[in-house]
Amino acid sequence: MSRFSKTLNALALAGAMAAVVAPAVALDRYQGVGRAATAAEVKAWDIDVRPDFTGLPKGRGTVDQGIEVWEKNCASCHGAFGESNEVFTPLVGGTTVDDIKTGHVKALITGSFPQRTTLMKVATVSTLFDYIQRAMPWTAPKSLKPDEVYAVVAYLLNLAEVVPADFELSDQNIAEVQARMPNRNGMTTDHGMWPGASAAAGGIGNGGKPDTRNLACMKDCKKDVEVVSFLPAYAQDAHGNLAEQNRPVGQTRGKHTGDPSQDAAAATPSVAAAALALANEKGCMACHGVANKIVGPAYSDVAAKYKGQADAGTRLMAKIKAGGQGAWGAVPMPPQGHVKDEELKQLVQWILDGAKAQ
């Protein structure tokens, strides 16, 4: 993440916090940044309808009006009766007259209905209203007038047989409808997903206690990794050789799968790669390039100069070990006593082979 976006995040966070606590604080702390939201701006955003019907706009709508709005805006995705399973899961279905009496949807427990429809799950009618008002129709959210939202909610409730066909839903009688919601008693907030104090203490959560208790085993741990099973050889290359299907760089490398005799073949190019890595490690690459002159000569030039000379390896090894001056110009090469003979041999062989990267 760039520094710029971090700054933005910090500002956004500060802004969000300040908006909740007191807008004036933000203005004091961040002189010249932003301004307090006007009452009209807050009102435009403040559209939520809560379970106690705070924020519910005044209005009314009948089931019949709902049918008209439904046919125009909703039926193409949700089906004429909210039953469609084509675009979204069905909105209506799975609730019974009994559920409306008890406030618990039996099909959620018995699984007698193949899906969990919206009307099976939703516990508060305010949620239906809020969601439709804020998010529907998908292509033009917030485009429905309050009366239209009332009408659509009334139609949905009629489909679920919560209200009769001649019903008119309004801000006056929506609380009575809440008392008939099929899953009204099915919601619990007494779990860790809800913040705050427990329900008994006047909050809505359980005090932040998690639902699950995962006790990590921290004793009698095994010291050695023991491979107890592995794929049989014939199954290992079910997807071909993974090493060939992944780049040799980056975080994800392919494991060599399949015929192990190909390991040697696969390992051959890595001799050069290992030598290059060694050259990097020993500091050779600070003065020598593979194909370009830096301070000292390029390895390709060295290889060309010694090409075809049988004793080139030994002579080069000695020169590197002792250091030297004059063969390639005035800049001296310091003695490289820290490189072991074995490594030196590997490096020289690599240089004479043309100093390939792979």
Partner 1 sequence: MANPMRIRASAKDGVTEVRVLMSHVMETGQRKDASGALIPAHFITELTAKHNDKVVLSAQFGPSVSTNPYLAFKFKGGAKGDKVTVGWTDNKGESRADEVQIS
| Alpha-carbon gap, residue 318 to 324, rounded angstroms | 10
What residues from 92 to 131 belong to the interface with partner 1 (CB under 8 A)? 93, 114
231-260 residues in contact with partner 1 (CB under 8 A) are: none
Stretch that binds partner 1, among 43-51, 79-87, 185-193, 198-206 (CB under 8 A): 79-87
DSSP string, 84-130: --SSS--SS-S--HHHHHHSS-HHHHH--SSS--HHHH---HHHHHH
**Per CB under 8 A, does 87 bind partner 1?**
no
Number of Cβ atoms within 10 Å of the Cβ of 217: 6
Q: Does 344 bind partner 1 (CB under 8 A)?
A: no
Instruction: Name which of 63, 95, 67, 91 is nearest 78 in CA terms.
Output: 91
Exactly one of 66, 79, 182, 205 binds partner 1 (CB under 8 A); that residue is: 79
Q: With binding defined as CB under 8 A, does residue 80 bind partner 1?
A: yes
- Least distance to partner 1 from the beta carbon of 83, Å? 6
Binders in 206-225 for partner 1, by CB under 8 A: none
- Taking the complex as a whole, how short is the minimal distance between the CB of residue 89 and partner 1, in angstroms? 14
d(CA 316, CA 351): 10
Q: Are 342 and 278 in contact (CB under 8 A)?
A: no
Supply the minimum distance, in Å, between the C-beta of residue 63 and partner 1.
12
Instruction: Give the residue, chosen from 67, 149, 320, 333, that forms a contact with partner 1 under the rule CB under 8 A.
Output: 67
Structure tokens at 303: 């290889």
DSSP 8-state class, residue 46: -
Enumerate residues 6+ apart whose C-beta is below 8 A from 38. none
- In the complex, minimum distance from the CB of residue 81 to partner 1, in angstroms, rounded to a whole number: 4
- Restricted to residues 2-41, the positions that interact with partner 1 (CB under 8 A) are none
Q: Number of residues interacting with partner 1: please give it, by CB under 8 A.
A: 10
Query: What CA–CA distance (Å, rounded) separates 321 from 120?
Result: 82
User: Is residue 81 a contact residue for partner 1 (CB under 8 A)?
Assistant: yes
Q: Is 137 in the site for partner 1 (CB under 8 A)?
A: no
Q: Does 66 bind partner 1 (CB under 8 A)?
A: no
If the CB atoms of residues 114 and 195 are measured against partner 1, the closer one turns out to be: 114
What is the Cα–Cα distance from 301 to 65, expressed in whole angstroms? Answer: 88
Q: By the criterion CB under 8 A, which residues form the site for partner 1?
A: 67, 71, 79-81, 83-84, 93, 114, 159
